[in-house]
Structure 1
């Protein structure tokens, strides 16, 4: 500030302006900044004409904008993309029975196997929930309900179709081997290994064949694509096994296994494809270290959430 500018203000005005300048460097609270600014406006208004008042207001606005700019940037960064949200799940495998109904629930990092009354074998994935009857009715389809992930090896019975209800999607089979992945907040999908299944959603029905998967898209339509069955089924063998898989998809699988929330900085680099093979018996920290060693992303752990950022 030159001598001419200093003459525009009283000593008290200059002191208050100095406080504002120091506050800008120290990033004061909004209350402190407002208090000093109101004092300055009140005293300066009594001695200056309208032109000088508006000049002061402009200077103050610039000062406040300087204070606010860092926080604007932070707010932008505070809107990450949520890849997976941790679920409220038990700390150990639980079985709850009520009349003819049974509910099997699994914790993080564990699977559970169950055989139904018809001989169907089911491997329930981590953080998953399966509801099924103690015995199936003779005059109705066999029906179970799933939240999470499961491998089904359905016993053949031509007179009683087997239905898996997972959210808005229904999988209908007679006898076959397939996976259903339907975690809350994720796109539901069915992967077929053997046999033949029919996927239904609202009025839409599609048949898929071995080596295919049906995915319920955001537009609520089913999309059928080919899939690598060896990689898709690696979870039942205790492995993370991804060959040329988008980073975003890998992170979702890690979230569902360890039940940890995952956010990402932006979508663009989540499409980077990686090759990653690691045992599921490893700790979350070990998996994160191995992923960071690939150099495609920087993954850190803050406030019970994995944050995925550009390297």
Structure 2
């Protein structure tokens, strides 16, 4: 139900873009029109195509593979859920380490490989943009993993495997909206920049605010998504190695006009709209679920473990 009420509207707002082939055909007809009536008809067709786009797409918001649609959307929903469900028993009073760093590393590696399909595959065809998204995904993630390790080393005195993994995921998240728009150097800069920002939210903001976000969905996915979404508005600039804005009605070069302030405004509106729609909508849905079936087990069930209370088995019997 969350997918239908929260995800689908945001996906349409951002990804409901005009059909490039239809725009090219209409622009070709406009260029070839021999009289005013034909020109008016072709222009009306272009206007009709542009009028059917999603709300945020119409404002010029860019999101290549899901920075707003997926990560900010799910990240803020995760924060709202963590607050409504409440803290785990023992949170802040006893150690609650990851289940297995070995499996965490395996999982992060699988994510990294799978993300090539997530980002590069979002182009829906094999061409130069696909290759660009692939390369950007690789270099941004590597830069973010390195950046997190270095910052953690400086702040805490020791680097950690968990930190390296978290940094890699932050890089994957941040480059998602920019993967097909930024240049490789811009993607590296984005990866280096996102880790300190996410680390601040994971290690400091979470403690100050007191919420229990077990997997740091807000600190990594939402904050990383916001960082990437806003950075996309900058890194798409041709002057910074980006691909620029595409205008399919410009039949000579397909190049549109890039205005950094206007683009940043569009990106900011997309971020705020996603936060509000998903945050408020998710809170309502959580409350409804809580009223109908409840959101958390009893304290005794939580202490015993949900593997036992819900499934009657343990992952490990030693």
TM-score, structure 2 as length reference:
0.27
Greater helix fraction, Structure 1 or Structure 2: 2
Greater strand fraction, Structure 1 or Structure 2: 1
Larger radius of gyration: 1
TM-score, structure 1 as length reference:
0.27
